[in-house]
Amino acid sequence: MIDKSEIQKQLDFTLMETSLDGLGKLYRGKVRDNYSKDGKRIIITTDRISAFDVVLGTIPFKGQVLNQMARFWFDKTGHIIGNHMLDHPDPNVLVAKECTPLPVEMIVRGYITGVTNTSAWTHYKNGIRNFCGNILPEGLKKDQKLDMPIVTPQTKAEHGGHDESVSKEEILKRKIVSEQDYDLMSEASLKLYEKGVEIAAKQGIILVDTKYEFGRDESGNIILIDEIHTPDSSRFWFAEGYEERFKKGIEQKKIDKEYVRKWLADRGFTGSGVQPELTDEVRINAARKYIEAYELITGDQFSSDTGDMKTRIENNLRHGGYL
Ligand SMILES: Nc1ncnc2c1ncn2[C@@H]1O[C@H](COP(=O)(O)OP(=O)(O)OP(=O)(O)O)[C@@H](O)[C@H]1O
Ligand SMILES: [Mg+2]
């Protein structure tokens, strides 16, 4: 594990945003800068951190962690379904095949959990048993493993809108995607999740739930796009002690970005009003958590690329012939 002083040194060198000429049309998400040109999408994962739908600042090495974690999983799952990864010229950059995204996000859940108003557990607690067409049995407890993982699709809202959970039936009725495409995505999602569970388990980690996005490539094939099995799209728990905590009804030990959310919530910020400025300490701790997550999940040691990132990224892109 990287030491604190190295993270400290990187505090002033984090990547907030890029604006690179010649890479194509820029779309800035909350975390990633996406450039599109000539059928390629250059995805630069920055160090921005967002919580409650607000960008709050940067966390050292976060972009590298997320990008390399996605790369790890794309490599491990390419045999299940093709994905958009073409090249990785820099620790923060993925060159992907530009696709036409399919407007449904496939969420796979192996456990019933969550605490927010919209979470599956909250709905279950309030009496709901039908989850996008999956009927769950009576008597489940919070964080319980489901007999079989379930797929709960969501329609992708336009920028700024809210996603909506829908059943397969509703998706077909609204002609959002064809039945054939839906089934392909649904089956692939379950297989990807199963693979994720298997690999994570070897590391002593439970892949609790996750989200996949698919797109159609230029030949019309449906492939996996966006990212896969990172803490931004997935929940992870520690396997050790899961049963005991579950039986006692106490919170699971998790790997995720709750740390910063919690820090903010403790200071009264849940999305509106004045946002507290992230302190060096919280940024360093969050960085450690991301790096820890990377090492735990992949089993690889994180090798940090320090120093000025903009120059490095530009050089690597130029070297790869993208600039
Ligand atoms: N290979 C691809 N081809 C086309 N679109 C893609 C590809 N990979 C991902 N996308 C889409 O690019 C968009 C931008 O993603 P990004 O995650 O950066 O921003 P966002 O989803 O708008 O916001 P957020 O930061 O909340 O995730 C997403 O809608 C995603 O579905
Ligand atoms: Mg996104």
Q: What is the pLDDT tens value at each position of the chain, 323 positions in all?
A: 888 999 999 999 999 999 999 999 999 999 999 999 999 999 999 999 998 889 999 999 999 999 999 999 999 999 999 999 999 999 999 999 999 999 999 999 999 999 888 899 999 999 999 999 999 999 999 999 999 999 999 998 776 667 789 999 999 999 999 999 999 999 999 999 999 999 999 999 999 999 999 999 999 999 999 999 999 899 999 999 999 999 999 999 998 667 898 899 999 999 898 999 999 999 999 999 999 999 999 999 999 888 899 999 999 999 999 99
> Which atom of ligand 1 has the smallest separation from the CA of 232?
27
Q: What residues have CB less than 8 Å from 35, skipping those under 6 apart?
A: 20, 23, 24, 25, 26, 27, 41, 42, 43, 44
Tell me the CA–centroid distance for residue 114 and ligand 2, in Å: 20
Q: Is the CB of 31 under 6 A from ligand 1?
A: yes
Where are the chain's structural domains?
Answer: 100-248
Q: How high is the pLDDT of residue 150?
A: 98
Q: Which residues contact 266 (CB under 8 A, 6 or more apart)?
A: none
In whole angstroms, give the CA distance from residue 174 to residue 208: 30
Report how far Cα 255 is from the mean position of its chain's Cα atoms. Answer: 12
Which atom, in ligand 1's list, is nearest to the CA of 96? 1
Give yes or no for residue 213 CB within 6 A of ligand 1: yes
Atom number of ligand 1 nearest to Cα 99 = 3
pLDDT of res. 116: 85
The predicted pLDDT at position 149 comes to 98
Q: Which of 51, 109, 62 is nearest to 235 (CA)?
A: 109
Strand partners, 108: 151, 210
Residues near 8 by beta carbon (within 8 Å), at least 6 away in sequence = 280, 284
Q: Which residues pair with residue 49 across a beta bridge?
A: 57
100-248 topology per CATH? D-amino Acid Aminotransferase; Chain A, domain 1 (3.30.470)
Whole-number pLDDT of residue 160: 63
**Distance (Å, whole) CA 24 – CA 162:** 28
Q: For every residue of the chain, which 3-state class applies, written as one string?
A: CCCHHHHHHHHHHCCCCCCCCCCCEEEECCCEEEEEECCEEEEEECCEEEECCEEEEECCCHHHHHHHHHHHHHHHHCCCCCECEEEEEECCEEEEECCEEEEEEEEEEEEECCCCCCCHHHHHHCCCCEECCEECCCCCCCCEEEEEEEECCEECCCCCCCCEECCHHHHHHCCCCCHHHHHHHHHHHHHHHHHHHHHHHHCCEEEEEEEEEEEECCCCCEEEECCCCCCCCCEEEECCCHHHHHHHCCCCCEECCHHHHHHHHHCCCCCCCCCCCCCHHHHHHHHHHHHHHHHHHHCCCCCCCCCCHHHHHHHHHHHCCCC
Q: Counting ligands in written order, which one lies closest to the CA of residue 215?
A: 1
Protein residue closest via CA to atom 26 of ligand 1: 30
β-pair partners for 258: none
For ligand 1, atom 15: residue with the closest CA: 29
Q: Residue with the nearest Cα to atom 28 of ligand 1?
A: 226
Decide if 208 contacts 236 (C-beta within 8 A).
yes
Q: Which residue is it, tokens 């820890």? A: 292
Q: Which atom of ligand 1 is nearest to the CA of 156?
A: 29
* 226 CA distance to ligand 1 middle (Å): 6
Ligand 1 proximity of 98 Cβ (cutoff 6 Å):
yes
pLDDT reported for residue 174: 96
**Backbone phi, then psi, for 228, in 5-degree steps?**
-145, 135
Query: pTM value?
Result: 0.95
Residue 307: predicted pLDDT = 86
The rounded distance, in Å, linking the Cα atoms of 84 and 227 is: 9
Mutate to test the pocket of ligand 1, among 47, 48, 226, 233 (most ligand atoms within 8 A of CB): 226
